[in-house]
Amino acid sequence: MRDNAPDSGDRLSHEDRVALARRFRNHGEHIYGVNNHNSSPLYAFLSMQVAGDPDVLALAVQADRATQIPNLLFAAVHYLLMGDLAAPLAAYYPDCTDSPCPITEVYPAFRAYCLAHADTIRQLVTTRRVQTNEVRRCAPLLLAAETLSQQLNGQPLAWVEIGASAGLLMQWDRYGYAFRDEAGNNLQAGDAASPVQITSELRGALYPPIPTRMPTIAWRVGLDINPIDPRDEDATRWLRALIWPEHCDRRELLDAALAVAREHPPRIIAGNAMDTLPAALDEAPAEAALCVYHSYALNQMPATVRESILKQFVAYARQHPQRPLYRISQEWYGDQETPQLELFTYRADEGERELLATCESHGRWIEWRRTQN
């Protein structure tokens, strides 16, 4: 049975329509439309068309994560389409057909599909989250963890991840890595026998620390408001739907990492990190160095929640002056030209921030910035 189409695009206020249209145009130009191997020509084109279509914009107006609205809308359609390959729209998606139809002809089919499934799409964009669990982001994460491990002379780490989703990035020490430098050399690290093999390009004149032996994780836990069970077929289908249709390499990495997660089920605590973080920090074993990691998680949170979490790091360090707390951040905030990889250290009343690298948003390339290796 078909869903009900929206009553009318007129139910959008002028302010909502303008703000949503601007968000889709921005994604079309700067997120999906980047002229490199990380682009999505399909989503770039659709973004510009949606920006001028009040009826389709109305489907996403109730989403409470404004910066992620384009990703949520396109993922919702993609999620439905993955189970509906006979739909005319599927003929335009590179992961649904071997010979996709021209992108310039897609919008009538996209619009019709959205309006025919309006209620389901509204439900998805208001209840689901952007939990991509992009596995290649483990490449910059590994370099940050190795930097910290060297500072600590190899002390084992107690690992807490905020926004863990299905826990795929929590498994970073179980993957294999190849970093290709500008001279064409492949620098290997990690488990060469792992089903997950991650490649990333090194840019710039500075070399990061490539581990010859992986840092030791003594204990690990994830925090997520809506944890995803790697054994749940519907939940993992949502993860696949979040991957842009052209990116078959990302889907392959996701599937391989899900297999690892099923073999090594991650422990993930459900709830808002603002509430669950203190207990997780207190539970970490005292003999291990305490490290919190987050990637593309804090930038999705309301500013008040993000500030509350950041204050908790400061408070913990003050309450435990003999135990430093470390934070690895891989985020892309609105005032930054590119995503940044940073290492924060909290000691009693002191705090230190180091910019380690700038990175492509999915980990395809890394430009190391830290000079003291």
- Domain end position, chosen among 103, 127, 151: 127
pLDDT of residue 291: 98
Beta bridge partners of 358: 340, 367
* pTM higher than 0.95: no
Length of the chain: 373
| Residue 37: band (very low, low, confident or very high) from pLDDT cuts 50, 70, 90 | low
Query: Residues 43, 184: one domain?
Result: no
Whether 215 is in a domain gets the answer yes
Query: Residues 30, 143: one domain?
Result: no
Task: Say if residue 158's pLDDT is above 50.
Answer: yes
Query: Residues 179, 35: one domain?
Result: no
pLDDT of residue 49: 97
Question: What tens digit of pLDDT does each residue of 54-99 get?
Answer: 999 999 876 655 557 899 999 999 999 999 999 999 999 999 999 9
Query: Residues 312, 354: one domain?
Result: yes
Query: Residues 211, 265: one domain?
Result: yes
Whether 106 is in a domain gets the answer yes
Query: Residues 191, 62: one domain?
Result: no
Task: Say if residue 160's pLDDT is above 60.
Answer: yes
pLDDT of residue 310: 95
Measure the CA–CA gap between 134 and 243, rounded to whole angstroms. Answer: 9
Measure the CA–CA gap between 46 and 107, rounded to whole angstroms. Answer: 7
Query: Residues 80, 108: one domain?
Result: yes
Cβ atoms of residues 343 and 144 within 8 Å: yes
Measure the CA–CA gap between 162 and 139, rounded to whole angstroms. Answer: 18
Query: Residues 231, 303: one domain?
Result: yes
Whether 198 is in a domain gets the answer yes
% of the chain with per-residue pLDDT over 70: 94
CA separation (Å) from 266 to 27, 78, 162, 172, 190? 32, 27, 13, 12, 19
Cβ atoms of residues 291 and 328 within 8 Å: yes
Question: What tens digit of pLDDT does each residue of 6-31 get?
Answer: 554 446 688 888 889 999 999 998 88
- Domain end position, chosen among 101, 127, 153: 127
Whether 37 is in a domain gets the answer yes
Please tell me which residue, 13 or 278, carries the higher pLDDT value: 278
Q: What mean pLDDT, rounded, does the chain reach?
A: 92
Per-residue buried b or exposed e for 85-115, using 16+ beta carbons within 10 Å of the residue's own CB: eebebbbbbbbbeeebeeeeebbebbbebbb
Positive or negative, the Cα torsion across 110, 111, 114, 117? Answer: negative
Residue 253 dihedral angles phi and psi, to the nearest 5°? -65, -40
Per-residue buried b or exposed e for 333-343, using 16+ beta carbons within 10 Å of the residue's own CB: eeeeeebbbbb
pLDDT of residue 31: 85
Query: Chain centroid to CA 225: how far?
Result: 15
Using CB atoms within 10 Å of the CB of residue 3, give its burial: 0 to 12 exposed, 13 to 18 middle, 19+ buried: middle
Whether 4 is in a domain gets the answer no
Question: What tens digit of pLDDT does each residue of 320-369 get?
Answer: 999 999 999 999 887 788 899 999 999 998 899 999 999 998 899 999 99
Whether 211 is in a domain gets the answer yes
Whether 220 is in a domain gets the answer yes
Query: Residues 272, 332: one domain?
Result: yes
- The number of folded domains in the chain is 2
Query: Residues 40, 140: one domain?
Result: no
CA separation (Å) from 247 to 68, 180, 196, 301? 19, 20, 16, 26
Query: Residues 71, 155: one domain?
Result: no
Average pLDDT over residues 137-153: 97
For residue 176, give its domain range: 135-368
Whether 2 is in a domain gets the answer no
Query: Residues 362, 306: one domain?
Result: yes
Give CA torsion, residues 116, 122, 127, 130, to 10 deg. 80
- Domain end position, chosen among 86, 110, 127: 127
**DSSP H/E element including 270:** strand 268-270
